[in-house]
Amino acid sequence: MKQCLPPALQFPNQLVLDFGPRLKYDEVCTAYTVQRMSLWTYFDQDIHTFVIREKEMHKARVEGTLYFLPQDEDIIELDRRRQVGVCCERKYLPVWTPYKNDIDEFIQVMAWVYVGNPDYYVPKIQEDMDFHSHIRIIRDGVPAPCPGKFSKATVVPDAHRLLNNRFSFHDPGYYCHPEKDVSPRIAEYVGKKNREEIERLNQQLDEINANIKRLRKQQRWERFKKFLSE
């Protein structure tokens, strides 16, 4: 049975595959990288994602959302927001769509993908891991590692061999287009989920800050004891 393809797939130079929270552009479909990469998330005040190709990191295919950006200015603006040339590079790469051809293979198209700069991200990831590896928090009465700002995305099993154990980011909310009507019930549900996620992240941040203060206090006490013993 022949599938009806979205018209946007005919304009690959206007397609962008992104892996994080939903963007404001028109969504075409879910898509997957052909190349294997690592997908990371990090948060400051917002949640961010990036893919990176680094030899020492576990790599897999990455699930994302394919967007259609009809205006060149949209891509230029996205370049600026993603800090192309510093944090990442925009690469023109093959991606798989969920649509299949006559021999039951995924249809492949070209799309722009923002690939993280290892020289920028790897030192930050390592610094974050080194710092938080010395911190423990009490969770359910048991000492547990303190989560850092950086973490690998979820690995998703799949019956299809090409998509099995792929990386995927699960958005706690979604981008709500202001020009589109949303039912009050859906808006209330999404708002509740977003508030719960914000509360969870704030609690996590409070735990991190409390452990940092405790660690610094312990370091000052150790220095003071060392001073008394000299």
Same domain for 51 and 80: yes
Measured distance CA(6)–CA(150) in Å, rounded: 35
In this structure, are residues 32 and 64 in contact, taking their beta carbons and an 8 Å threshold? Answer: yes
Residues 6+ apart with CB under 8 A from 65: 17, 18, 19, 22, 23, 27, 29, 30, 31
Q: Is residue 225 part of a domain?
A: yes
- Indicate whether 188 and 202 sit together in one domain: yes
State which amino acid sits at residue 98.
Answer: P
Choosing from 155, 171, 187, the residue where a domain stops is 171
The 10s digit of each residue's pLDDT in 81-93 is: 999 999 999 999 9
Give the model confidence (pLDDT) of 127-169 as tens digits.
877 776 655 555 555 555 556 678 888 888 888 888 889 999 8
- Domain boundary among the residues 145, 171, 197 is at 171
Clarify whether residues 98 and 34 are in a common domain: yes
Q: Please indicate, yes or no, whether residues 144 and 99 belong to a single structural domain of this protein.
A: yes
Predicted pLDDT at 172: 45
Secondary structure (3-state) at 159: coil
Strand partners, 24: none
Question: What is the SS3 assignment for 214?
Answer: helix
Residues 123 and 223 placed together within one structural domain of the fold: no
Query: Six-digit token pair at 226?
Result: 């060392």
- On whether both 213 and 130 belong to a single domain, the answer is no
Domain membership of residue 1 (yes or no) is no
Q: Which residue has the tokens 């603006």?
A: 77
Amino acid 226: pLDDT? 79
Q: How many domains does the chain have?
A: 2
Whether residue 188 lies inside any domain: the answer is yes
Query: Do 70 and 121 fall into the same domain?
Result: yes
Q: Evaluate whether residue 13 is within a structural domain.
A: yes
Same domain, 166 and 205: no
Domain that holds residue 214: 174-230
Whole-angstrom CA distances from 162 to 60, 98, 134, 148, 221 are 10, 12, 38, 31, 54
Q: Is 2 among the domain residues? A: no
Domain assignment present for residue 81? The answer is yes
Whether 30 maps to a domain, the answer reads yes
Domain boundary among 123, 148, 171: 171
Spans of the chain below 50 pLDDT: 1, 172-183
Beta-strand ranges (E) seen in 22-105 are 26-33, 38-43, 47-52, 63-68, 88-100
Confirm whether pTM is higher than 0.85: no
